[in-house]
């Protein structure tokens, strides 16, 4: 069931002895799943001007949507989540120790 509120109704089709019956609807509230994210880089360490793959792994692996990657100097880009993983190859990281952040705004 997707996140949100859904009306649930029970129905009995009846048989040779009993008539059909339908319950009053009740509201079922479904909350979004809690998502966690971890980020890795490869290779680490890297060389300025060469490709570095940024990988974000989400739990649960059924998460969908986009992950945005950034370092302490600004945005590096975004990538779609496929099978719970988002990867982005960048060549724009500058020399020095960089703090890489992966952000997930949610999906579906």
pLDDT by residue, tens only, the chain of 108 residues: 678 899 999 999 999 999 999 999 999 998 887 789 999 999 999 998 899 999 999 998 888 899 999 998 888 899 999 999 999 999 988 888 889 999 998 776
Both tokens assigned to 89:
């190859």
- Output the six-digit token pair for 10: 């029970």
Structure tokens at 47: 């060389």
In this predicted structure, what is the pLDDT of residue 7?
93
**pLDDT value at position 74?**
86
Residues 6+ apart with CB under 8 A from 104: 35, 37, 56, 58, 63, 65, 66, 67, 68, 81
- What's the pLDDT score for residue 64? 86
Q: What is the pLDDT of residue 34?
A: 79
Distance CA 7, CA 25 (A): 6
């Amino acid at each position: 069931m997707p996140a949100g509120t859904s009306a649930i109704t029970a129905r009995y089709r009846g048989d040779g002895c009993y008539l059909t019956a339908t319950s009053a609807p009740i509201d079922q509230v479904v909350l979004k799943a809690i998502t966690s994210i971890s980020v890795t880089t490869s290779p680490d360490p890297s060389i300025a001007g060469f490709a570095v793959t940024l990988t974000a792994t989400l739990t649960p692996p059924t998460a969908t949507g986009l992950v945005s990657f950034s370092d302490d100097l600004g945005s590096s880009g975004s990538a779609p989540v496929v099978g719970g993983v988002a990867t982005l190859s960048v060549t724009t990281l500058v020399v020095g120790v960089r703090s890489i952040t992966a952000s997930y705004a949610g999906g579906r």
